[in-house]
């Protein structure tokens, strides 16, 4: 049954405020305190009350708050979920006078990302939400924007030495430790393993590897880390070239390590590694621990090819990062945490049928 569309009466009842006051706020007629106005707009967003006439009127206001979102045109199964989170935010905040300006770069092209940040410096954009492709190279560009009064926040990966306000995403060192503990559990503390490192210029990947190695060395002396196999730094390459690289690298891992008990993959390329292992070592019991979800990853987990994947719900991550940025710009959030860590979901064969609903449908977002 289709859910009943919220009305202005529903907003008034939820806010315990008269319909007339709600109407004044929705039509920007003034005469309402700032606190009451914010309460009404928040409840209207929560109830998904978005009359087209109101939305159009507010979007056309001259005092729109422009927030830029920058992310790569890469790994569509991962970044398409980010796009859904962006649309969720636009829908919820369209009558708050928020306008999102979306920039998609050629894969992880750091020079292109820096150029966009430099262009924003001379625009009327008030906030930036981005994943830093290289946490060191991007710092000066972020710092220049902050000097200009632009609120800059990071998501999925961080630039902790910059002057950005806050980061939203996984604690990636802890995520690496979690992956190591899963591997140790699956191997019962014994075996030979390899790491496949993807996009190591991106700090989240480096931190995952750091956490994984430290935990293996500290807690699992019976597990031998054979080598870290890194992809080439194809920062501006087409997606297909990345996939070809992953296929070639995985074949190399299997060719050079006839005795191999486990592979840790540092991002959503887990599915391509798993497909090659399934094809070439179908009778073996190589344990695969990776990151993220996709329809293919879900299927490979259900088959038992991938033993576990750590999923961060990037749809919710970008939504929360945008919400924080908006609140900072509008002074609704004077104090905030520098690190807004999101809870990692461990997805295995036992729970994939439940977790995949989060991936395929709208999760509760707050």
Q: Residues 263-284: pLDDT tens digits?
A: 999 999 999 999 999 999 877 8
Q: Is residue 86 part of a domain?
A: yes
Q: Are residues 191 and 301 both part of a single domain?
A: yes
**82 touches 102 (CB < 8 A):** no
pTM: 0.81
Q: Are residues 273 and 199 both part of a single domain?
A: yes
The pLDDT assigned to 361 comes to 56
Q: Are residues 217 and 293 both part of a single domain?
A: yes
Q: Is residue 288 part of a domain?
A: yes
Q: Are residues 83 and 160 both part of a single domain?
A: yes
The pLDDT assigned to 84 comes to 95
CA angle 208, 220, 260 (to 5 degrees): 80
Residue 24, pLDDT above cutoff 80: no
Q: Are residues 223 and 124 both part of a single domain?
A: no
Q: Are residues 353 and 305 both part of a single domain?
A: no
Q: Is residue 58 part of a domain?
A: no
The pLDDT assigned to 317 comes to 97
Q: Is residue 59 part of a domain?
A: no
**Closest by alpha carbon to 155, among 325, 318, 310?**
318
What is the mean pLDDT of the segment spanning 160-174?
97
Residue 358, pLDDT above cutoff 50: yes
- For 103-169, the DSSP string reads EEEETT-HHHHHHHHHHHTTSS--EEEE--SSTTTTHHHHHHHHHTT-EEEEESS--TTS--S-EEE
Q: Are residues 208 and 85 both part of a single domain?
A: no
The pLDDT assigned to 59 comes to 42
Rounded to whole angstroms, how far apart are CA atoms 248 and 79?
23
Q: Where is pLDDT greater, at 256 or 331? A: 256
Extract the tokens encoding 54. 């109101």
Q: Are residues 307 and 323 both part of a single domain?
A: no
What tens digit of pLDDT does each residue of 237-254 get? 566 777 888 899 999 999
The pLDDT assigned to 198 comes to 80
**256 touches 248 (CB < 8 A):** no
Q: Is residue 112 part of a domain?
A: yes
Residue 130, pLDDT above cutoff 70: yes
Extract the tokens encoding 82. 């980010």
Q: Are residues 194 and 290 both part of a single domain?
A: yes
Neighbour-count burial of 143, counting CB atoms closer than 10 A to its CB (0-12 exposed, 13-18 middle, 19+ buried) = middle
Count CB atoms within 10 A of the CB of residue 343: 9
Q: Are residues 157 and 179 both part of a single domain?
A: no
Q: Is residue 54 part of a domain?
A: no
Rounded to whole angstroms, how far apart are CA atoms 154 and 128?
8
Q: How many domains does the chain have?
A: 3
Domain span at residue 115 reads 65-170+314-360
What tens digit of pLDDT does each residue of 219-243 get? 999 999 999 998 875 555 566 777 8
Residue 27, pLDDT above cutoff 60: yes
Chain mean pLDDT for the chain:
88
Q: Are residues 232 and 302 both part of a single domain?
A: yes
Q: Is residue 366 part of a domain?
A: no
Rounded to whole angstroms, how far apart are CA atoms 73 and 303?
29
Rounded to whole angstroms, how far apart are CA atoms 96 and 77?
30
Residue 3, pLDDT above cutoff 50: yes
Strand partners, 197: 230
Q: Are residues 321 and 303 both part of a single domain?
A: no
CATH number of the domain residue 349 falls in: 3.40.50.2300
Q: Is residue 221 part of a domain?
A: yes
Spatial neighbors of 190 by CB under 8 A, at least 6 apart, are 222, 223, 261
């Amino acid at each position: 049954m289709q859910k009943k569309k919220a009305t202005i009466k529903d907003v008034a009842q939820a806010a315990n405020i008269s319909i007339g006051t709600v109407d004044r706020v929705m039509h920007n007629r003034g005469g309402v305190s700032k606190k009451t106005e914010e309460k009404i707009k928040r409840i209207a967003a929560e109830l998904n009350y978005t009359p087209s006439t109101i939305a159009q009127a507010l979007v056309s206001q001259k005092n729109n708050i422009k927030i830029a979102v920058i992310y790569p045109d890469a790994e569509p199964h991962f970044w398409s979920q980010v796009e859904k989170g962006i649309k969720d935010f636009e829908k919820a905040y369209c009558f708050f006078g928020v306008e999102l300006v979306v920039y998609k770069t050629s894969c992880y092209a750091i020079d292109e990302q820096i150029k966009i940040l430099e262009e924003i410096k001379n625009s009327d954009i008030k906030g930036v939400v981005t994943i830093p492709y290289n946490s060191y190279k991007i710092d000066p560009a972020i710092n220049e924007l902050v000097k200009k009064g632009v609120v800059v926040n990071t998501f999925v990966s961080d630039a902790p030495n910059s002057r950005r306000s806050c980061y939203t995403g996984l604690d990636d060192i802890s995520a690496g430790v979690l992956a190591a503990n899963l591997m140790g559990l699956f191997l019962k503390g014994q075996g030979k393993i390899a790491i496949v490192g993807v996009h190591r210029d991106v700090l989240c990947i480096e931190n995952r590897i750091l956490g994984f190695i430290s935990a293996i060395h500290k807690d699992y002396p019976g597990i031998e880390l054979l080598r870290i196999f890194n992809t080439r730094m194809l920062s501006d390459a087409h997606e297909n070239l990345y996939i070809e690289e992953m296929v070639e690298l995985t074949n190399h891992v299997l060719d050079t390590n006839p005795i191999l008990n486990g592979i840790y993959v540092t991002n959503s390329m887990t599915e391509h590694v798993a497909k090659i292992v399934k094809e070439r070592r179908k009778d073996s019991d190589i344990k695969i621990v990776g990151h993220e979800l996709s329809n293919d990853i879900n299927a490979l987990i259900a088959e038992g090819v991938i033993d576990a994947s750590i999923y961060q719900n990037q749809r919710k991550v970008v939504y929360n990062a945008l919400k924080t940025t908006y609140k900072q710009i509008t002074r609704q959030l004077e104090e905030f945490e520098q690190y807004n860590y999101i809870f990692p979901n461990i997805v295995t064969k036992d729970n994939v049928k439940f977790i995949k609903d989060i991936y395929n449908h709208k999760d509760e977002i707050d």
